[in-house]
């Protein structure tokens, strides 16, 4: 009995020693891992000496220098469709996307299949890995499906008669806002461990020029190393005081400006359009944080208004941009949705006053003067005609959008009541 008890006691002591040893090993591994994580920024340049041609790839942690295997399934695939990872030979990495951005995302609605094919052909021929992000089509159903976003409020000009007490009729603008906002949230969650990761965001009506990757690589050499957002294809005005030979500094106000903006008055728009732009995850975190305090309106103007640091834009000369906005050839889905809802809500929003009862018998209207047959009033200038036909207070006119498209000058519309820019 004594031997048996002694043996049992020795076995318990050995088990306790083994357990304490495993705990010590686990604690040591945890300390080493934490130290390596803290020193990863300093160790990365040292490790890259042994893999100078390895692309950045998608990094779930800071130590991963090589991209994920092409056939490896990812959780995002099952939800948003197939991922495109074209194989690039080592000789093409010097002229490819490596070192510029991780991958490209283009925003495309489910019904726009031709636009989707158009973007896929461009990106596949360039050898760029890309993903499609489904755009949201604005409608009143968003009051339930995206109620948490709409609690921020919607700007007055997106309501009927520009009144906060009337229904929303700018659902195209709201849908565009939410399409970009949900993409930003996805990217921040996806690259949560790498704020320096950069992506290329495109709209599906952007035509990229031949050799755009090489042009982008050469243009980025003139930028500061701490850039966070770069507009590559955009429209609007740029301030000469903020522009150099190749780049402009993006800062608010974005516009449309008014008499409070001094020399920048009036109705001017700066750095609008999100046709193609590079952005780092750090900038998207800043944008999402500042959008919570602002009402919904045009997302391109809102991002400029957020005034996150280190934002730049290519010089607004067509030869400098890496692509073109095909709004005239493909049209604007946002404007089409806005126009449709304005027409649908207009009869319920404005009603004509009842007709006056006829005067007493024998009462005749007083003639205003002789009628001149065959003669018409002289045509008014475009800006005056716009104010007379579609006055600035009446942006809900169903003929305003087509009128703007037909009488554009360059790309900026002369009609101040429309959503297009006026120079």
Query: Which pLDDT tens digit goes with each residue over 125-146?
Result: 999 999 999 999 999 999 999 9
151-171 pLDDT per residue, tens: 999 999 999 988 889 999 999
Q: Is the peptide bond preceding residue 253 cis, with omega within 30 degrees of 0?
A: yes
Question: CB–CB of 98/126 below 8 Å?
Answer: no
Question: CB–CB of 198/128 below 8 Å?
Answer: no
Q: Which pair of tokens denotes residue 371? A: 């009628």
Note if the pTM is more than 0.85: no
- List Cα–Cα distances, 216 to 320, 372, 390, 421, in angstroms: 10, 63, 42, 27
307-331 pLDDT per residue, tens: 999 999 998 765 578 999 998 888 8
Q: What is the pLDDT of residue 295?
A: 95
Question: What is the Cα–Cα distance from 265 to 231, expressed in whole angstroms?
Answer: 24
- Going by pLDDT thresholds of 50, 70 and 90, the confidence category of residue 118 is very high
27-49 pLDDT per residue, tens: 677 777 777 666 665 555 555 55
Pairing of strands 247-249, 311-314: antiparallel
Q: What is the pLDDT of residue 175?
A: 96
Under DSSP, is residue 371 helix (H, G, I), strand (E, B) or coil?
coil
Question: What is the Cα–Cα distance from 290 to 280, expressed in whole angstroms?
Answer: 16
Beta-strand runs (E) in 236-339: 247-249, 272-280, 311-314, 323-325
- Going by pLDDT thresholds of 50, 70 and 90, the confidence category of residue 264 is confident
- Going by pLDDT thresholds of 50, 70 and 90, the confidence category of residue 347 is low
- Going by pLDDT thresholds of 50, 70 and 90, the confidence category of residue 395 is very low
> Based on the number of CB atoms within 10 Å of its own CB, is 68 exposed (0-12), middle (13-18) or buried (19 or more)?
middle
Q: Which of 83-87, 226-230, 246-250, 302-306 has the lowest mean pLDDT?
A: 83-87
Domains, the chain, with CATH or none: 77-329 (3.90.550), 381-423 (no CATH)
pLDDT surpassing 80 at residue 193: yes
Q: Which residues pair with 131 in a beta bridge?
A: 105
Total residue length of the chain: 423
Average pLDDT of the chain is: 74
pLDDT surpassing 60 at residue 338: yes
Q: Which pair of tokens denotes residue 165? A: 């007490």
* Count of C-beta atoms within a 10 Å radius of residue 371: 7
Question: CB–CB of 231/312 below 8 Å?
Answer: yes
pLDDT surpassing 80 at residue 382: no
Residues 6+ apart with CB under 8 A from 222: 244, 246, 247
- List Cα–Cα distances, 181 to 87, 229, 259, 283, in angstroms: 31, 16, 31, 13
């Amino acid at each position: 009995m004594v031997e048996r008890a002694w043996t049992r006691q020795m076995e318990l002591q050995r088990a306790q020693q083994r357990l304490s040893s495993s705990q010590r090993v686990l604690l040591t591994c945890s300390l080493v891992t934490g130290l390596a994580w803290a020193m990863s920024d300093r160790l990365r340049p040292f490790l890259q000496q042994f893999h100078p041609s390895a692309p950045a790839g998608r990094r779930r942690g800071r130590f991963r220098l090589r991209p994920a295997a092409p056939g490896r399934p990812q959780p995002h695939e099952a939800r948003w469709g197939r991922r495109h990872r074209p194989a690039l030979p080592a000789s093409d990495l010097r002229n490819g996307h490596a070192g510029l951005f991780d991958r490209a995302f283009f925003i495309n609605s489910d019904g726009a299949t031709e636009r989707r094919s158009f973007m896929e052909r461009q990106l596949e021929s360039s050898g760029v890995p890309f993903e499609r992000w489904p755009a949201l089509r604005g409608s009143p159903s968003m009051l339930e499906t995206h109620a948490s976003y709409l609690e921020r409020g919607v700007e007055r000009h997106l309501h009927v008669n520009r009144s906060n007490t009337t229904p929303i009729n700018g659902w195209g603008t709201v849908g565009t806002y939410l399409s970009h906002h949900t993409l930003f949230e996805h990217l921040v969650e996806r690259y949560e461990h790498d704020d320096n990761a950069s992506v290329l965001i495109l709209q599906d009506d952007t035509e990229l020029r031949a050799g755009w990757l090489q042009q982008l690589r050469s243009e980025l050499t003139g930028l500061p190393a701490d850039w966070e957002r770069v507009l590559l294809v955009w429209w609007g005005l740029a301030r000469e005081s903020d522009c150099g030979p190749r780049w402009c500094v993006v800062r608010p106000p974005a516009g449309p400006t008014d008499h409070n903006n001094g020399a920048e008055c009036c109705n001017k728009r700066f750095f609008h359009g999100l046709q193609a732009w590079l952005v780092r995850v750090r900038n998207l975190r800043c944008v999402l944080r500042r959008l919570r305090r602002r009402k919904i309106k045009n997302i391109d103007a809102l991002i400029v208004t957020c005034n996150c640091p280190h934002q730049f834009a290519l010089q607004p000369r067509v030869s400098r941009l890496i692509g073109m906005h095909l709004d005239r050839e493909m049209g604007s889905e946002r404007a089409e949705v806005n126009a449709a809802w304005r027409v649908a809500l207009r009869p319920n929003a404005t009603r004509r006053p009842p007709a006056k009862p006829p005067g007493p018998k024998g009462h005749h209207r007083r003639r205003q003067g002789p009628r001149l047959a065959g003669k018409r009033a002289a045509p008014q200038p475009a800006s005056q005609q716009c104010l007379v036909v579609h006055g600035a207070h009446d942006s809900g006119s169903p003929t305003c959008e087509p009128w703007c498209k037909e009488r554009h000058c360059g790309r900026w519309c002369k009609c101040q009541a429309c959503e297009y820019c006026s120079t």
